[in-house]
Amino acid sequence: MASSPRTAPPSGALNRRLADSGLRSTPQRELIYDVLLRKRDHPTADEVFVRVKTEMPTISLATVYNGLETLVQCDLVRAVNFERGPTRYCPNLRPHAHFHDERSGATHDIDLPPALIEHVKAILPPEYRAEAVEISFRGSTSR
Ligand SMILES: [Zn+2]
């Protein structure tokens, strides 16, 4: 990965998470994470690329893909998949479901109460251990 002369101030959460995973922070990774935090509309990798490119014109799509993958691996970002669409990226780390509006294409976060998650996990046979519960809705909103 090409290094940039830009020295961004260390962003706490990102640096810590990357270090915990044995990775280092790079200006590219910081910018990708920053772009995700700024507009939380579950962009695809291509959309992240367009946004990042306005601030770092030399960045490649491959670097954006790799950066997103790294952020997913160290649990700072969730990869969200719907049946037919491309992977989308979400920096919201609270337990939440996704509501995919099929008319507008928008994806909304829906907070999940912890009790509900426990309730959902309780339907599993006792020998099954769920590390994650992913709930997604598809439909439309009247707004
Ligand atoms: Zn989300």
In a domain, 69, yes or no: yes
Percent of the chain with pLDDT over 70: 92
The 3-state DSSP class for residue 49 equals: helix
Residues 102, 68 within the same domain = no
76, 98: one domain: no
pLDDT tens profile 2-39: 444 444 444 677 888 888 888 888 999 999 999 999 99
Residues in the chain: 143
What's the 5 CA to ligand 1 centre distance in angstroms? 33
Domain with 71 in it: 12-80
Tell me how far the alpha carbon of residue 88 lies from the centroid of ligand 1, in angstroms. Answer: 9
CA torsion angle 10 16 17 23 (round to 10): 80
Residues with CB under 5 Å of ion ligand 1 are 90, 92, 109
Q: For residue 69, what is the domain's CATH number? A: 1.10.10.10
pLDDT, tens only, 57-70: 999 999 999 999 99
Q: Are residues 42 and 73 in the same domain?
A: yes
